[in-house]
Amino acid sequence: MHNKETLPNLGLPEHERDLFCDARPRVSKPLASYIEKFLNWSRANSLWILAYGTGCGAIELRPLFTARFDISRYGMAPRPTPRQASLLMIGGYLSVKTLKRVIRSYEQMQNPKFVIGLGSCTVNGGMYWDSYNTINRLDHYLPVDVYITGCMPRPEAIIAGFEQLKKRIKDGRAEGANQYAEQFDWYKANQKKIITDWNMPDYNW
Amino acid sequence: MKPYSDRGKFPERTENGNVIDLDSGKFVKLWQGPQHPGVTGNMSLEVIISGDEVVDLTTHVGYLHRAFEKLIERRLYIQSFPLVCRICVPEPDTNEYGYAAAVEELAGIQIPEKAAWLRTLTLEMSRLTSFLMWLGGQAGAFGLGTIPQWCLAHRDYMLDLFEELSGGRVYHMYIVPGGVRDDLPRGFARRLEDVLQKIEQVMSDIELALFSNAVFKRRAVGLGIITRDMIDEYGIVGPNARAAGIARDLRKDQPYLIYDKLSFEPVTADFSDAYTRTLVRYREMEQSIDLIRQIMAGIPEKGAIHVRPPNVLHWKIPAGETYVKAESTRGEYGYYLVSDGTAYPRRVHVRGPSYTHAVVLLEHLALNTNIADLPGLMVSLHTYPPEIER
Amino acid sequence: MKLKDLIAPFSVWKRATEKPYTAMKPLSERPGADRYRGFHINDQEKCIGCGSCEAICQNGAIDMVEVAGVETTLTDSGLRPRIDYGRCCWCALCVDICTTDSLAMSNEYVWIDEDPEVFRFIAGAEGKPWDNSEKGYRRSGGYSLLDPERVPMILEDPKKGVTSFIEMVKGYSADAARQEARRCVDCGLCIASCPAHMDIPDYIRAIRDDDLEEAVKILYRTNPMPATCGRICTRNCESACAIGVKGDPVAIRWLKRYIIDAVDPSDITAALGKEFSDSGKTVAVIGAGPGGLSCAYYLARMGHHVTVFESSKKAGGMIRYGVPEYRMPYDRLDDEIAHITEQGVTITYGVTIGVDKSLDELAASFDAVFISTGLPDASSLRLTGEDLPGVLSGVEFLERVARGETITLGRTVAVIGGGNVAIDAARTARRFGAETTIYYRRREEDMPADWEEIHDAKLEGVEIITQSIPIQLEKAARGKTGLVWGRARMEDQGPGKRPRPVLIVGETYTAEVDTVISAIGQTADLSYIAESKTASVGIDGNKVLADYHGRTENVKIFAGGDVVNSIGDAIAAIADGYRAARSIDAYVLTGKGKT
Amino acid sequence: MEQINELKARYSISDSRDQRPDLGFITVDPGRLAALLAELQQVRGYTHLSFITAVDYPETGTFQLTYMVHNFESAHSLGVRTVISRDTALMESVHHLWKQAKTYQRELKEMYGIDFPGSPGVDDPFILEGWQGPPPMRRDFDTRAYSEKTYFPRPGRKTSDPRRHMQSRLYPDYTPFEEET
């Protein structure tokens, strides 16, 4: 019934399967290099952040949005919905329950999209390395563009992280969305291994 | 102005509770959060609305569950003090104090007087810091964008002071079992006073811009009324209870550290709705500023800041159990510690006030409110989800 | 609604003309506060690789790894902490516990990378930009997690002690021992310094856990004479102790003594068990000093039949005849020897090899021979007048005291030397009521004697004249002996070398004393080996040539103790004895020697 | 505590102890617990419930439940403890006394597997989602082993024990004597 191009969405109840899109994510091919360069320049200068405080890291994001650090001047702004956001900030540790929502939010974001991992927890589990409820390595579940060390990273470090991300975007290396589409099966297998009650579409369009 | 509670009870109730038939077309189920700017922290509300009126609400938590209590059980006593402050991010010091005091009590350690003063100082500073953040959130939840800008900028000045004192902006890890880690830096008093004055100035602006604001008044007055008879039934503590006229404040009722040497009276009001609760907390911020000044005036010049525990790598604490609590910005915050005489705690239970405020209380108060006021209501209870799931 | 509610919010517009809060420069340039807990720095020179940081890290963020250019020495494990910033929470507990204060934190905080694999680094060894940061978190003076002070040891009142031979050091009580044991950080740096590589942290842990049976088992794994070593060991371990870098080292020797004193001798046997096989092989051990006894003990427990040949009337060697009773009570030594003979070791007293029996005979009638005859004779002062009647050697003096002979020292005594024998002789002389002065060539800090011994000797009224070189001995009036000595100055010998004493011309003095005791070293008479025809082994001066495992050039002959090693203390002899026992075991069972 | 002495005989309270002047602990039979709490709340002024929690003792096969109640009049907290079997793990619900009790009971059900029949929503998942292991707060559940198996830490870490390392460098040929008994 399902060919290679569609997703089975087995997690959904049968009567709901028709309600959701079952297409696989696709790799978007780059345009001519000068256009792509211009696009990347534009993307780098209007990073809109999904306002989802997934963990402790969120506490240092608020000052960024407000008067003292004011990242609006870099063309960045918090957005309440994934549809409008291009940057997902993972604020440190992710419990399995949150990871499920993060995946959903990430998949709902439009291409191109970028992920920044804040703090130790996204690299190797951080101080919750032995907790049964938090993941250790974010890069197993989502493509991460930039890591910022700290627990938590200060706003200044986060701003420096944004600079690094912009550089990566302008260099054309920030291909997380494409990487996710290319290695979709690997990511999905990793995700499903720990999210045992997968009751959403395989890809949240 | 009609308080919301005067609206007719809808939907119809039977002995078994509300009659909510989702297929009837009268109701819509909405998920608010966890990815939603209108919820505090990472939690979610399962809301059922009819029109724009909330007819049922269920709180869902667990998105921030890191199993602190489990992790503490497999860490040495000293190893947990960096862990506990992560339970409540905006106000870590209460956790540090609660944990350290519980360990000290069972270990029979008496902390030096100066350490007690320094601990009180950080507790009050973090209270002010936490309230600043909350006040921004409260105003923001009602659509007032300017006040969060002011509050968070001034909170940041407080964080600068914390950084100077403890070496950390957000997680101070300053209060350790046995005392505190360092003395006040040189010139700290002056810089602290500067910041306090700045905060006082911005607070006078906030008073005009928030408490005399027609929008805020219109939306907050009568929202989420807590009556006096609900207090014990729901286990309501802190400003939420004080706003209803119950003068309960652990700092006064069961003084810890050096609170008995400071002069203050619990702030109370007589009608606990979102507006009054905001006002009570605002007065407590003023009170905190006053307390910080009292502490800075009374803090001993010299003296030990730390009592060395036995070698912390194999520090065994005599078997026993205790419960130590402190008044956080949200109310009674406690640590229940059970030691079985080994180098590892048998059990640590963290009691956070949000446990009741954000679950049973919110579920009750949300009924018959307007969906647009839900964020405002939630913030007015001052809840932090990590206290619930830990 | 009041009119004010509509107007008041706008009043804050007055702030519109004020300076904005926003910092206009890129904020990443703002340095962290002076105490900021930023990235780790580690002084590679100061760090000793004890691993306390790894032990306390609740995040499992620290690994101890080898670093190029850092050598493993007796006081430095050669390992350095590598920190995983995928784990660290910047709590700085590692800084607080650091035994050397080498670990600290800078106030740098920006480290960004696209590759998650890079966030691991050896602090202070990878040339990070923050390595030399002056600012950042340091442990403050008023706060520490380690106890720098040793639990004080109870001593006999020196005024009372100096009148008798009762034991001076009283030993720890159970509480004091547990308290002292708690100071240990379990790093294990000390093990390498101990010649017998005793498992020090483990028996200290057993004290903490109050499990003395386990502690005894651990002791006897490497040392059959713990009561002796618990009293008179030269305790090289304590000089390697990580706690000793900033404070007093853990009192390892006294803790060992506590274990063995707190346990009844019969419980030791019970703890260790007595079941071992019988190999039917026989081994002769020459000399019942610590080396011989240790070898005999382990051989017996390996199932061999051991006979020890001892020229004196009692076993113990230098421990009995060279160490005064106030340091090593004879009954404790007897208990220890009794435990060794209980294992089936036979000791034949009054038999001198080379006189009563030849080495050849032994080699012929036993499957293997272990030589541990030690250094029983005193070295010569090589001064004129050494043969005067008022001059005797420290070894001889102590031995005669131990045998219970009556000795007349007179009212004043001069002791020449700075080692433990010199101190022992001086303190013993004090117990005979003599005014005693020690003459030593170098400074007090150069004295090879145990610093506690020097301290206690002074308490007992022994005077120490340092930088004094004896020139000659002469006969003086009223039967006294004149010690002519000259003042020395210390001449620097370059870095890492001990300064050399040089006589200052013209500054000579004469001390007229009743007795002069020389204690500048010991030597051995190895003629019984040289005379041997079939069992001869290599000799160099007063030393027998043997390898680390006690094997000599003769496959059947093994040797150890002072007669082999140059350390010359009891624990080294015990270690030699044990290693030789293993070699002998391997030899008698397989017939194969050195490969 | 005088109040407690009055209750002692009626509720067969054992093991009462003052930890501080303002904090006491008492132990009561599980069967009498709900009645005792009701009296404490309604008659004795212990109107505030701070928390309910459990302590696991796998060695003895029991859970200790602690109900912390507080009397604002006398500023006295009382920890009411009861010991129940770990195998049956069943306890009477007190949700009728305090509204928030049902949340605590729901948490205990999830984290320790202690059931409180009749407590509203006690079987609903509270914190965990899709959890398939044993109740995670039980002490025999090894969180570290679970984490390493499920979330596999980043490879490339290796550490050396200083004492083993020094032995390998300085005295590799030495082995202590182990008895072969």
pLDDT, tens digit (0-9, with 9 covering 90-100), for A112-155? 899 999 988 899 988 899 999 999 999 999 999 999 998 888 88
Do residue D98 and residue B347 have CB atoms under 8 angstroms apart? no
| pLDDT, position B3 | 43
C198: nearest CA partner in chain D: D176
Do residue D171 and residue C79 have CB atoms under 8 angstroms apart? no
Q: For an interface test with A, which of C19, C114, C119 has the most A Cβ atoms less than 10 Å from its Cβ?
A: C114
Q: Which residues of D touch C272 (CB under 8 A)?
A: 179
Do residue D154 and residue A136 have CB atoms under 8 angstroms apart? yes
Q: Which residues of A touch B86 (CB under 8 A)?
A: 56, 127
| pLDDT, position C528 | 85
| pLDDT, position D175 | 80
Is B338's Cβ below 8 Å from some Cβ in D?
yes
Residues in contact with A33: Cβ distance below 8 Å, sequence separation at least 6, in sequence order: none
Residues in contact with B384: Cβ distance below 8 Å, sequence separation at least 6, in sequence order: B40, B41, B88, B89, B90, B91, B330, B352, B354
d(CA B206, nearest CA chain D) in Å: 34
Do residue D151 and residue A133 have CB atoms under 8 angstroms apart? no
Query: Token match 């949000």: residue?
Result: B354
**Number of Cβ atoms within 10 Å of the Cβ of C276:** 16
d(CA B214, CA B218): 6
Is C578's Cβ below 8 Å from some Cβ in D?
yes
CA neighbor of B350 nearest in space, from B95, B45, B156: B95
HSE-CB at C341 with a 13 A cutoff on CA atoms is: 14
Instruction: Identify the architecture of domain C28-122 in CATH.
Output: 2-Layer Sandwich (3.30)
Of the candidates C26, C32, C59, which has its C-beta nearest A126's C-beta?
C59
D181: nearest CA partner in chain C: C275
Of the candidates D154, D162, D179, which has its C-beta nearest C86's C-beta?
D154
| pLDDT, position B5 | 45
Domain D2-154 grouped into CATH 3.30.460.80: yes
d(CA A51, nearest CA chain C) in Å: 21
HSE-CB at B21 with a 13 A cutoff on CA atoms is: 4
d(CA A188, CA B97): 43
Do residue B360 and residue D102 have CB atoms under 8 angstroms apart? yes
Do residue A120 and residue C27 have CB atoms under 8 angstroms apart? no
The two tokens of residue B223 are 């929202």
In the structure, what pLDDT confidence band is assigned to residue B6 with cuts at 50, 70 and 90? Answer: very low
Residues in contact with C199: Cβ distance below 8 Å, sequence separation at least 6, in sequence order: C191, C218, C221, C222, D176
Is C214's Cβ below 8 Å from some Cβ in D?
no
Q: Which residues of B touch A128 (CB under 8 A)?
A: 66-67, 71
Q: For an interface test with D, which of A132, A139, A197 has the most D Cβ atoms less than 10 Å from its Cβ?
A: A132
d(CA C362, nearest CA chain D) in Å: 27
Is D130's Cβ below 8 Å from some Cβ in A?
yes
| pLDDT, position A2 | 47
Domain B92-352 grouped into CATH 3.40.50.720: no
d(CA B16, nearest CA chain C) in Å: 41
Instruction: Using 70 as the pLDDT threshold, list the residues of chain C that sit under it.
Output: 1, 23-29, 275, 593-595
pLDDT of A19 over the 90 cut:
no
Of the candidates B70, B71, B360, which has its C-beta nearest D99's C-beta?
B360
Of the candidates A58, A95, A105, which has its C-beta nearest B65's C-beta?
A95
- Residue % of chain B over a pLDDT of 90: 44
Do residue B64 and residue A95 have CB atoms under 8 angstroms apart? yes
| Fold type of domain C378-492+499-522 | FAD/NAD(P)-binding domain (3.50.50)
In the structure, what pLDDT confidence band is assigned to residue B32 with cuts at 50, 70 and 90? Answer: confident
Q: Is B382 within 8 Å of B390 (Cβ atoms)?
A: no
Of the candidates D22, D56, D99, which has its C-beta nearest B234's C-beta?
D99
- Residue % of chain B over a pLDDT of 70: 95
Q: Give the residue, B15 or C213, on which the prediction is more confident.
A: C213
Interface A-D, measured as beta-carbon pairs within 8 A, has a size of 49
The CATH code belonging to domain C277-376+524-590 is 3.50.50.60
Average pLDDT across chain B, whole number: 88
Measuring CA to CA, how many Å separate B382 from each of B203, B358, C356?
A: 19, 8, 96
Of A53-67, B13-27, B282-296, give the range with the top mean pLDDT: B282-296
Of the candidates D51, D103, D127, which has its C-beta nearest B349's C-beta?
D51
The two tokens of residue B80 are 């947990």
| pLDDT, position A4 | 64
Q: Where are the domains of chain B?
A: 92-352
d(CA D61, CA D86): 5
| pLDDT, position D152 | 84
Do residue B338 and residue D51 have CB atoms under 8 angstroms apart? no
| pLDDT, position D51 | 92
Q: Which residues of C touch B313 (CB under 8 A)?
A: 52, 55-56, 97, 185-186
Which amino acid is located at A75 in the chain? G
Stretch B84-99: mean pLDDT:
90
In the structure, what pLDDT confidence band is assigned to residue D181 with cuts at 50, 70 and 90? Answer: very low
d(CA B346, CA B103): 12
In the structure, what pLDDT confidence band is assigned to residue B1 with cuts at 50, 70 and 90? Answer: very low
Do residue B70 and residue D137 have CB atoms under 8 angstroms apart? yes
**Number of Cβ atoms within 10 Å of the Cβ of C317:** 27
Estimate to the nearest angstrom the gap between the alpha carbon of A114 and the chain centroid: 6
Burial of C199 (0-12, 13-18, 19+ CB in 10 A): buried
d(CA C140, CA C295): 51
Of the candidates D129, D143, D153, which has its C-beta nearest A132's C-beta?
D143
Interface B-C, measured as beta-carbon pairs within 8 A, has a size of 120
d(CA C190, nearest CA chain D) in Å: 8
| Fold type of domain C158-271 | Fumarate Reductase Iron-sulfur Protein; Chain B, domain 2 (1.10.1060)
Q: For an interface test with B, which of C145, C184, C187 has the most B Cβ atoms less than 10 Å from its Cβ?
A: C145
Task: Please report which helix (H) or strand (E) contains residue C574, including its range.
Answer: helix C570-590
Do residue C116 and residue A168 have CB atoms under 8 angstroms apart? no
Of the candidates D129, D147, D152, which has its C-beta nearest A130's C-beta?
D147
Do residue D153 and residue A129 have CB atoms under 8 angstroms apart? yes
d(CA B206, nearest CA chain A) in Å: 15
Q: Is C63 within 8 Å of C82 (Cβ atoms)?
A: yes
For chain B, the chains sharing at least 3 beta-carbon pairs closer than 8 angstroms are: A, C, D
Domain A48-194 grouped into CATH 3.40.50.12280: yes
Q: For an interface test with A, which of D151, D152, D154, D157 has the most A Cβ atoms less than 10 Å from its Cβ?
A: D151
Query: Token match 């003068």: residue?
Result: B247
For chain A, the chains sharing at least 3 beta-carbon pairs closer than 8 angstroms are: B, C, D
pTM score, two decimals? 0.90
Estimate to the nearest angstrom the gap between the alpha carbon of B342 and the chain centroid: 32
Do residue C112 and residue A117 have CB atoms under 8 angstroms apart? no
Query: Token match 């031995």: residue?
Result: C399
d(CA A36, nearest CA chain D) in Å: 35
Do residue A159 and residue C27 have CB atoms under 8 angstroms apart? yes
The two tokens of residue C507 are 């500054």
> Which residues of chain C does CATH 1.10.1060.10 include?
158-271
CA dihedral in degrees (C547, C553, C556, C562; nearest 10)? -40
CA neighbor of C185 nearest in space, from C46, C49, C37, C44: C49
